[in-house]
Amino acid sequence: MTITVIGAGYVGLVTASVFAELGNKVFCVDIDEVKIANLKKGIVPFYEPSLGEYISRNINEKRLFFTNSYGQSVPKSQIVFICVGTPPKENGEANLTYLFSAVEEAAKNLKGYTLITIKSTIPIGFEDDLEALVKKYAKTKYEFASSPEFLREGTAISDSLHPDRIIIGTNSKKAEKMLLELHAPLPGERIICDMRSAQLIKYASNSFLAAKISFANALATICERTGADVTKVVQGVGADKRIGHSYLYPGVGYGGSCLPKDVLAFIAQTRNFDYDFELLRAVDAINNGQVASLVNKVRQSLNLTEKQGKNLAGVEIAVLGLAFKPNTDDMRDAPSIKIINSFQDLGAKVTAYDPKANEAAKKILPDIKYSDDLYEAISNKDLMVIVTEWPEFAEIDLEKAKKLLKKPVIVDGRNIFDAKKVRALGFSYTGVGR
Ligand code: UDX
């Protein structure tokens, strides 16, 4: 099949690369000229393991093409995937400007029957507005479908090649057949439904994952108050197959471009349908509480009382990890931002180290120090705080770290260390929920 993918962000680039890898001819369109010029040379605008190799290989095999021109790609395509971002506006609502302009440009360039498939996460019910827009411009027969994407950053290619399920939201038998054929080489359960249900599946999945994480974070707080060990508690809870182990790890709270945004959007949208999603409001509140909890732990581990603790003036903190999770340089809604802002508000001086996200972080957190070396970052600091669980942090030479730090204090926001071992080495150690 010949396909156009509109939007060269995470979802767009991974979708384009995977469909090209499966043998289709794929055009990836974006309005950003610099981005497209770089992609033609195989330069990916963000860090994502193995994506660069997939892109280069498929460019060389002449299955993947990058262009700024809708006219060069859309008329030749049987399916057009809309993969542009719908970032939140100041008021939390989704900004649909890119979505509407991408759909309008696609509509103007349709030639012959084309299936327009939405992968972007769009508010429930907006498919009607998109259809109205296409109707205004299209001079040919077209149909609509929604096929949400569930890839995770850091494992995007492998998630897309091994999906648990493929959602095909459409009322058209022809569209259903085309999408089934396109996805035929991929594993996973096929779920055929209407477009609105497809959109709801996306919001519900991300919200449920967020709820599991907040549940684990609430358990961690209870464990801190009762003296239980949350790592054992979630191990025991997750061993029940009905619950499962994944997304049950407490920490500094969930971040990234999807979970926080989709939880808030789901709350806002269900309110429009006269439903107060109290459960999700609690999920969001627990998540926000994780930042304050970590800051408190820093205070307590330096023996600063609550009264003095309003003030971390003069305290030098090494923050290890900035990205919202390992294996990405993505800083969108990263918990590190709120944590570092709190440290700064309390007067602390922060030096940060992240194996991949230092550069991206500099734009958001311009007035902290950055280090390109883990040991240099912790040198002469009052304590080190783990914010992202990069594997190299768990491998740190703790004897060396103890000598470099001013005080042997670790606040571990991701439970990467064995508490007993670290304490046996003479550290003051505070994890999450144990
Ligand atoms: C998520 C969804 O998983 C994916 O299906 C969707 O398409 C996009 O949103 P992603 O944003 O890449 O993917 O991140 P994910 O790996 O799900 O992690 C989200 C956040 O939750 C991270 O900040 C992570 O640190 C945190 N998390 C995850 C926990 O705190 N505990 C856990 O047990 C799991």
Residue-wise DSSP of 373-430 = SHHHHHTT-SEEEE-S--HHHHT--HHHHHHHSSS-EEEETT--S-HHHHHHTT-EEE
Exposure of 403 in the CB half-sphere (CA atoms within 13 A): 5
Span from the CA of 14 to the centroid of ligand 1 (angstroms): 17
Residue 400 CA to chain centroid, in angstroms? 33
Class level of CATH domain 209-430? alpha beta
Closest Cα to atom 20 of ligand 1: 254
Rounded to whole angstroms, the Cα distance separating 261 from 210 reads 11
Residue 349 CB burial class (10 angstroms; 0-12, 13-18, ≥19): middle
Exactly one of 28, 83, 223, 258 is catalytic; name it: 258
Please indicate whether residue 152, judged by its CB atom, sits closer than 6 Å to ligand 1: yes
Span from the CA of 152 to the centroid of ligand 1 (angstroms): 7
What residue type is assigned to position 383 of the chain?
A: L
By residue count, the chain amounts to 434
Q: Is 221 helix (H, G, I), strand (E, B) or coil?
A: helix
Please indicate whether residue 326, judged by its CB atom, sits closer than 6 Å to ligand 1: no
Backbone angles phi, psi at 32, to 5 degrees: -80, 110
Q: What is the pLDDT of residues 176-228, one digit of tens each?
A: 999 999 999 999 999 999 999 999 999 999 999 999 999 999 999 999 999 99
Give the pLDDT band of residue 309 (cuts 50, 70, 90): low
Q: What is the pLDDT of residues 47-90, one digit of tens each?
A: 999 999 999 999 999 999 999 999 999 999 999 999 999 888 88
Please indicate whether residue 206, judged by its CB atom, sits closer than 6 Å to ligand 1: yes
Span from the CA of 259 to the centroid of ligand 1 (angstroms): 7
- Rg of the Cα atoms in the chain: 24
**DSSP strands (E only) in 119-163:** 142-146
Query: Could you identify the atom of ligand 1 that is nearest to the CA of residue 324?
Result: 23
pLDDT exceeds cutoff 80 at 121: yes
Closest Cα to atom 17 of ligand 1: 152
Q: Which of 83, 247, 325, 393 to mutate to test the pocket of ligand 1 (most atoms within 8 A of CB)?
A: 325
Span from the CA of 143 to the centroid of ligand 1 (angstroms): 32
Over residues 330-353, the mean pLDDT reads 97
Query: Could you identify the atom of ligand 1 that is nearest to the CA of residue 388?
Result: 25
Rounded to whole angstroms, the Cα distance separating 303 from 427 reads 14
Distance set, CA 87 to CA 68, 90, 261, 369 (Å): 21, 10, 8, 29
Rounded to whole angstroms, the Cα distance separating 222 from 233 reads 11
CATH topology of domain 2-193: Rossmann fold (3.40.50)
Give the pLDDT band of residue 305 (cuts 50, 70, 90): confident
Span from the CA of 213 to the centroid of ligand 1 (angstroms): 9
Bridge partners (DSSP) listed for residue 64 = 26
Give domain limits for the chain: 2-193, 209-430
Backbone angles phi, psi at 66, to 5 degrees: -115, 140
Span from the CA of 211 to the centroid of ligand 1 (angstroms): 11
Contact in structure between 100 and 133 (CB atoms under 8 Å): yes
Q: Which of 48, 257, 258, 332 to mutate to test the pocket of ligand 1 (most atoms within 8 A of CB)?
A: 258
Q: What is the pLDDT of residues 172-190, one digit of tens each?
A: 999 999 999 999 999 999 9
One fold for both 2-193 and 209-430?
Answer: yes
Share of the chain above pLDDT 90, in %: 94
pLDDT exceeds cutoff 90 at 93: no
Q: What is the pLDDT of residues 134-170, one digit of tens each?
A: 999 999 999 999 999 999 999 999 999 999 999 999 9
pLDDT exceeds cutoff 70 at 111: yes
Say how many Å lie between the first and final Cα of the chain, rounded: 54
Please indicate whether residue 215, judged by its CB atom, sits closer than 6 Å to ligand 1: no
Give the pLDDT band of residue 311 (cuts 50, 70, 90): confident
pTM over 0.85: yes
Active site (annotated) includes residue 83: no
Closest Cα to atom 7 of ligand 1: 150
